[in-house]
Structure 1
Amino acid sequence: MATVDEKAPVPPTEDVEKDSLPRKHADSKILEHSHDADEAMKAFSGIDGEAITIDEATNKRLLKIIDWHLMPLMCVVYGMNYLDKTTLSYASIMGLKPDIGLKGNDYQWLGSMFYFGYLAWEYPTGYLLQRMPLGKYSAFCIVVWGTVLTCFAAVHNFPGAVAIRFFLGVFEAAVTPGFALLTSQWYTKNEQGSRVGIWFSFNGWGQIFGGLVAYGIAVGTERHGSAIEPWKIIFLVTGLLTVSLGVYFYYLIPDNQLNARWLKEEDRILAVARVRVNQQGIGNKHFKMYQLKEALTDPMTWAFFFFALVADIPNGGVSNFFSQLIVGFGYTEQQSLLYGVPGGAVEVIALVLNGYLGDRFGQRILFSSGGMLSSIVGMILIVALPLHNNVGRLIGYYLTQASPCPFVALLSLISSNVAGYTKKTTVAALYLIGYCAGNIIGPQTFRPKDAPRYVPAEITIIVCWGACLMDLYFIWWWYRRQNAKKARIRASPEYVKLENQEWLDLTDMENHEFVYTL
């Protein structure tokens, strides 16, 4: 059962240290900003300073309720997020190119145009995610991007396709940072890595579902004919499904624990209390310039940005060209739709396994680097094996599908390791700006003159992933070093306990009680 007392400020299931801050911190910037605290303070306004104790049974009960109401829908929506932006790859071998008159580098630019829209709107959408109700704004974006995708079925030329891809990027820009915020809002640090891994793994499920749907449409229309072109059908199916999910998202996903209709009044307060251990709160609607400045001067912000930029050069190429890449291995166009499906399964298994092991052993970065190593080996196989070794090169492609593991690990670290709501939204926005820039560059490395092998692009991918591996180890070393520094500071006799310090919307640098996850 859950009780209110003055002894235990955090759930006993979490291994955390006592809440305390340096006296010099308490009597300066922290108190200066205490009037502008986190939304969570509203939940405790009538408890008169008493702390809440949550026993293990109550904590498990709450976690089960939260999981069943949030995770299934987040997973399916994220799978559609991946499928909707990569539907172009399926359509490219289903008659899209001749039907709308693509020539030269037009297809490469369509692949990049999505990320121009994403890039243009990423920081504004990060600001809106902070200022607007989180659940409602996310639902609005889902409905609109689904509507935009259905409009692709009416496209008849290259300029129209450019417009659709751009606005698809604009409205999909909210989903990844929004889901990262939802995860940090509802889950403790020890739960976040596995949850991010699960919902991000639905990229793989999206690839499995998309490949099977595209294959079914291609075979069905070939045998029985259709009133419209096959590539238009796949845009209509995926777009309308996304719109339906967006409407359901609006109904089910709350803005925070305090307005969750599927939680009882008492459970809403307990759901806030169980994440006290994060030292992050559940949201703050006020933009804080000092947190923006801290984000821009934090070395980890730029280490994250570098990783997203360089890692997504390969992602931008492979995600838009994987069907054509498989055709280049010697398979037919219809076979390429079907043979892309196991790649999605590899991604699902890799992400879920890495998320679980990373949280289980407290080493998200090191475990995720295994996915990067697997991807490098896979791409080396594609480059080095002879053309006639179709099976070996296809297996190499499957190995590359573990490459999202470190990207997802770092995304989960933005949830776990970046505190201060303005700082968190800023770092997430910059991370995804790097993601956009990399995905814009990626398709341009697959030049038409290099088809069907695309060797220069494949060598570029190997170099990029090697650089990312070094960046991952730097991030691990830096956080480990900072935790040691914080431990020494906390050991000082000058520290005193500050009431409700975890709800004051402090940054991870301000709060020396904040322990970084590795």
Structure 2
Amino acid sequence: MAPYTTQDDGYPEKFPLPAPDVKDGAIRPPEYSGVDTSGVDPKKVLLKMDLHLIPMLALLYLLSFLDRGNIGNARIEGLVDSLKMTGPQYNWCLTVFFFTYCLFEVPSNLLLKRLRPSIWLPSIMVAWGTVMTLMGIVQDFKGLLIARLFLGVTEAGLYPGVAYYITMWYCRTEAQFRQAMFFSAASVAGAFSGLLAFAIAKMDGVGGYEGWRWIFILEGILTVLVAIIAFFTIYDFPETAKFLTEPERAWVVHRLRYQGSKDSGQMVAESEHFKWQYVRDAFTDWQIYLGLWMYWGIVCPLYGTSLFLPSIIRELGYTSSTAQLLTVPIYITAAVLAVAVAWFSDRSGQRSPYIFSCMCAIGIGFIICIGASAHGGAPGAVYAGIFIAVCGIYPAFPGNVTWISNNLAGSYKRSAGMAIHIGVGNLAGAMASNFYRSSDSPKYLLGHGLELGFVAVGLCAVVGLRWNYSRINGKREQMPPGEYSDAENSDKGDRAPTYRYVL
């Protein structure tokens, strides 16, 4: 490759780089060749991106998490009794959501780039908001079960789509902070869900509907209204972002495409043209399947607490309204910690130490829950254990997603790989939906024990990933340069000798 000059931040100052030949897997648009980016202020550009992208993404995910988890709030407001459901039937309604949610994530992520984020994300949002609204008028177990199936279909594309969308704008060392900012919306959703459910439940009897029905109806309508706004406020790609100047667009595009090999001294661009081979590569990549155990070690506790936290707290002897309100400080604290941990992780350029530490906190939290529940008569200690566990879950989750996305290249493999990681990983929700059985209340020792078991396995997976990444990076350091052409390295993506895994 031609020599390039850099600013103090390590990013290219100018673009004297020759445009690759089309047969060479050309991926850098020729209109950016020779664009002078010497006047670009990196901090200013990142701030502009943050202000234009993150608030809407956070709002979308807040509503997504609110709509999938509000069934837990509806339960303690009388859903089960009203529909004459048994405990196992309620658990099935939670479980089936994850079957369809998992099934549709990979095709949804592939469609995201083909159909443009500004069209695809709001469209699926309208769909799930409609399903959520209609869930408020179901009359029996079968109706609720079918509604939850369709909710899984329509929500499938949101989280993996947004997580992948962030990688289309931010480099590897910037991604976790942004992932955490929008994912912390899930924490806020947990807090907001309790407050909102507490307020909406006061509408019991209005229009002849029970309070739990109004939770679904009003939150579904809110989702549809926000989706309509999202059609006009979501930006597609850096190449077409009108809020950036031409030099700023060139700077963003260039650094994204060369980020994987920047530190190795060989500038090899990531491939962005579509091949089915990239999708097959994602399905056969070892790191995704080892990463799934890490994902399950975080997501089993995540869904276990989000779906059952109000019920767990109520079973400790608190009233329904108090149980709703006691979830608020837990989620607010978790949101703050998620952003703080992400900031330190990006600054250090490390993922595994922060994920490992947070997962240790999850394990400690459930150990406290088990000990306090087994002893009995210590609701405060159980609450403290749940508090600690949730404060470990929410910082760990964006770190786990970011770590895998950091180590997948190029664009379409990353899209498919992230969808597999998140989609199959979310089957943990199907498992966690059955951990906390009505017959085990109020101690829920089986549920807490199963969560602890998954955390332990997840910790082993973190160690395994770190060790393998280090081993492969070491081998690549010893490989002679120039073994493959730039085009071959581009097509190989993260399997190229020039690529270095993030640890």
TM-score (norm 2): 0.89
2:121 paired residue number: 138
- CA distance in 1 between counterparts of 2:232 and 2:491 reads 28
The alignment partner of 2:168 has SS state of: helix
- CA distance in 1 between counterparts of 2:96 and 2:351 reads 32
2:4 paired residue number: 8
2:463 paired residue number: 473
State the Cα RMSD in Å.
Answer: 2.7
Q: Which amino acid aligns with 2:499?
A: F
Which residues of 2 match residues 165-176 of structure 1 at below 5 A? 165-176=148-159
- CA distance in 2 between counterparts of 1:31 and 1:301 reads 32
Q: 1:64 to 1:327 in 2, by over 3 A?
A: same
Kindly indicate whether the alpha-carbon contact (under 8 Å) linking 1:9 and 1:51 is maintained by their aligned counterparts in 2.
Answer: no
The alignment partner of 2:417 has SS state of: helix
1:23 paired residue number: none
Identify the range of structure 1 (130-139 vs 418-427) with the bigger mean alpha-carbon deviation.
130-139
- CA distance in 2 between counterparts of 1:75 and 1:187 reads 16
2:384 paired residue number: 395
Kindly indicate whether the alpha-carbon contact (under 8 Å) linking 2:297 and 2:456 is maintained by their aligned counterparts in 1.
Answer: no
Asked if 1:91 is matched to 2:78, the reply is no
Kindly indicate whether the alpha-carbon contact (under 8 Å) linking 1:54 and 1:270 is maintained by their aligned counterparts in 2.
Answer: no
Kindly indicate whether the alpha-carbon contact (under 8 Å) linking 1:358 and 1:368 is maintained by their aligned counterparts in 2.
Answer: no
The alignment partner of 1:275 has SS state of: helix
Kindly indicate whether the alpha-carbon contact (under 8 Å) linking 2:190 and 2:306 is maintained by their aligned counterparts in 1.
Answer: no
Q: Which amino acid aligns with 2:452?
A: I
Kindly indicate whether the alpha-carbon contact (under 8 Å) linking 1:376 and 1:400 is maintained by their aligned counterparts in 2.
Answer: yes
The alignment partner of 2:136 has SS state of: helix
Which residues of 2 match residues 483-494 of structure 1 at below 5 A? 483-489=473-479, 492=480, 494=482
Q: In the alignment, which of 235, 260, 275 is matched to residue 287 of structure 1?
A: 275
Bigger RCO of structures 1 and 2 (CA < 8 A, at least 6 apart): 1
- CA distance in 1 between counterparts of 2:126 and 2:445 reads 39
Q: Displacement, 1:32?
A: 9.4
Q: Displacement, 1:357?
A: 1.2
- CA distance in 2 between counterparts of 1:177 and 1:256 reads 16
Deviations 1:320-361 (A, max 9, x none): 111111112221111110001112113212211221111111
Kindly indicate whether the alpha-carbon contact (under 8 Å) linking 1:81 and 1:172 is maintained by their aligned counterparts in 2.
Answer: yes
Kindly indicate whether the alpha-carbon contact (under 8 Å) linking 1:88 and 1:320 is maintained by their aligned counterparts in 2.
Answer: yes
Q: 1:285 to 1:176 in 2, by over 3 A?
A: farther
Asked if 1:154 is matched to 2:159, the reply is no
Q: 1:128 to 1:497 in 2, by over 3 A?
A: closer
Asked if 1:455 is matched to 2:445, the reply is yes
- CA distance in 2 between counterparts of 1:424 and 1:294 reads 10
Kindly indicate whether the alpha-carbon contact (under 8 Å) linking 1:84 and 1:239 is maintained by their aligned counterparts in 2.
Answer: yes
Q: 1:493 to 1:423 in 2, by over 3 A?
A: closer
1:426 paired residue number: 416
Deviations 1:419-463 (A, max 9, x none): 022321222122123223211111222222212211111111111
Unaligned runs of 5+ in 1: 1-5, 20-29
1:415 paired residue number: 405
Percent identity of equivalent pairs: 25
1:278 paired residue number: 259
Deviations 1:229-283 (A, max 9, x none): 2112221222122112222222122221222233344443333234244249798
Q: 1:493 to 1:478 in 2, by over 3 A?
A: closer
2:500 paired residue number: 515
The alignment partner of 1:186 has SS state of: coil
Q: 1:327 to 1:138 in 2, by over 3 A?
A: same
Which residues of 2 match residues 58-137 of structure 1 at below 5 A? 58-137=41-120
- CA distance in 2 between counterparts of 1:298 and 1:121 reads 20
The alignment partner of 2:494 has SS state of: coil
1:252 paired residue number: 233
Which residues of 2 match residues 4-43 of structure 1 at below 5 A? 8=4, 12-14=8-10, 34-35=24-25, 37-38=26-27, 41-42=28-29
Q: 1:33 to 1:351 in 2, by over 3 A?
A: farther
2:350 paired residue number: 363
2:265 paired residue number: none
Identify the range of structure 1 (189-198 vs 82-91) with the bigger mean alpha-carbon deviation.
189-198
Q: 1:70 to 1:450 in 2, by over 3 A?
A: same
Identify the range of structure 1 (99-108 vs 274-283) with the bigger mean alpha-carbon deviation.
274-283
- CA distance in 2 between counterparts of 1:474 and 1:14 reads 31
Kindly indicate whether the alpha-carbon contact (under 8 Å) linking 2:124 and 2:155 is maintained by their aligned counterparts in 1.
Answer: yes
The alignment partner of 1:105 has SS state of: helix
Report how many residues are paired. Answer: 486
Q: In the alignment, which of 157, 182, 189 is matched to residue 165 of structure 2?
A: 182
Kindly indicate whether the alpha-carbon contact (under 8 Å) linking 1:369 and 1:472 is maintained by their aligned counterparts in 2.
Answer: yes
Kindly indicate whether the alpha-carbon contact (under 8 Å) linking 2:94 and 2:430 is maintained by their aligned counterparts in 1.
Answer: yes
